Amino acid sequence: MVFRKRKSTIEVSDVLFGCAPGQIQSVGYMQVIPLISEISDDRFVSPINGETRVQTSNYGSLGFQNRGDSVVIIPCNAGYVVKHAAQDHAMAHAGVVGSSTARTYDTAMCVQQSQGGLIREGEYQMSILPYALRERAIDKRTERQYNRLWDAISLFNKELGVRAEGNLVAFLDRFKDELDQFVAEFECVPQQIGAIILVDDQVVGIERAPSHQYWLDVWPSLIRECYGSLAIQVAQRKGQPTQTPASRYPIPDDVESLDELESLIADIASQEDQRARETVRILMDDRLELTVDEKTCELSIETIKSDRFSGQVIRDGDRVVYASMPIRKRWLSENVWRRAQPFEI
C-alpha cells in the first residue's frame, strides 16, 4: 500500500450529506442516533457479503479475496477473531478490494499475543477494534510491525480488570454477555446507513456506510466491540446501569390522568428528537482535514486529522460513501472540562 499525500478539507456536514437523524435509541450509558437516508449505493459491499474470503499468509498481513462483482470496502480497523488456532489480526486502516480481485495488506496487526498460526482462507465473522485501540491503530497505520498494538491491548485489558497481555480475545471472552446485550438493545431501523454514537452523553463516534445492507453488516461489530467496549469502560468507572435502565426523561410523580401521561410521552419524544438534532447540529461545522492514503477503484481512502475526530473516510469524488470517525481520546477527556460548570457559591 502506497501512502500519497494530498490535503483536503471537508466538514462533518459533508460526511452526513443526504442523511437525516432518526429517533434516538437510549439504553443505559449508550445512545445512538440513527442516520437515515434514501441513498443506498449498492456498488459497495462489506467483507461479510458471502463472497469474500479472508486469510493471513504471514504475521502482520491480512488477505482478502473478493470473488464477487461488487467492490468490497473493508471497514476501518476490521478484525478477525477465528475459532481455529491462529493468530487473530486486525486492519490498521480501511481498505478497498476491487471486484474479482485479491488483495493483501501487510500493515495488519496481530491482536492475539501468544497464539501462533495463520488464519486459513475462509469466510469469518468480522469484528471492529475496541474504541480505545482505534486511534492508536490508525496513527500507526503505515508501520509494519505486526505486534505494534500489543502494548495498547495489554493496557486496555488491564484497565478493565482482564489479564494484562496483548490478547484481545481475553477481553472479548470476559465481557461476552455485556457485549452481546448491546447488539440486542440497539436495533437498525429502515433506511439506516449510519449512526452517531454517544456514551455518557458525549458524542464518541460517527459512522456512515454506503448502503443500508452494508450498514446491517457492520453495525453489530461497531455497537459491540467498538463502542460497546467504551460503554463498558464507563460503566466500570461510574457503576453499572440498573437492570431496567432508567429512562432519560423520567415521568414525574404528579401525573394525574391518562391524557396528561400521553401528552408527556409525546413531549418526551419531542425532547429526545430535539436533543438528537441539537447533537448533530453542534457537529455540523466541524472541519476535518483529510490526507489521502490511497486511490483505488475510483475511490480515495483518506485519514482524518482534526482535534475532535480520528478515523477515515472513503470518497467517490467529493461524495463520502464511507466514514468511520471515533472521537479522539484527548478530546473526550478534555470535554469533561469544557462541560464543567463554573464555581458558584
Binding positions for another protein, rule: CB under 8 A: 22-28, 34, 177, 180-181, 183-190, 244-251, 253, 255-258, 261-262, 265-266, 268-269, 272
Burial 163-183, CB ≥16 within 10 A → b, else e = eebbbbbbbbebbeeebebbe
* Closest CB to another protein among residues 1, 27: 27
**Of residues 224 and 315, the one with the C-beta less far from another protein:** 224
Task: Write down the least CB distance from residue 264 to another protein, Å.
Answer: 8
Contact 111, 86 (CB under 8 A): no
At residue 171's C-alpha, the angle toward residues 167 and 172, to 5°, is 105
Q: CB-wise, 103 or 174, nearer to another protein?
A: 174
* Min separation Cβ 32 and another protein, Å: 8
Q: Which is nearer to another protein, 44 or 186 (CB)?
A: 186
**C-alpha 189 chain-centroid distance:** 17
Nearer to another protein, 2 or 246 (CB): 246
State phi, psi for 217 to the nearest 5 degrees.
-70, -40
- The least CB distance from residue 136 to another protein, in Å, is 30
Q: What is the DSSP letter of 104?
A: E
Shortest Cβ 119–another protein spacing (Å): 20
**What b/e readout covers 271-291, taking b as 16+ CB neighbours within 10 angstroms?**
ebeebbeebbeebeebebebb
Q: Which of 155, 1, 5, 21 is nearest to 74 (CA)?
A: 1
- Shortest distance, CB of residue 25 to another protein, whole angstroms? 4
Q: Which CB atom, from 122 or from 245, has the smaller least distance to another protein?
A: 245
The minimum distance between CB 257 and another protein, in angstroms, equals: 7
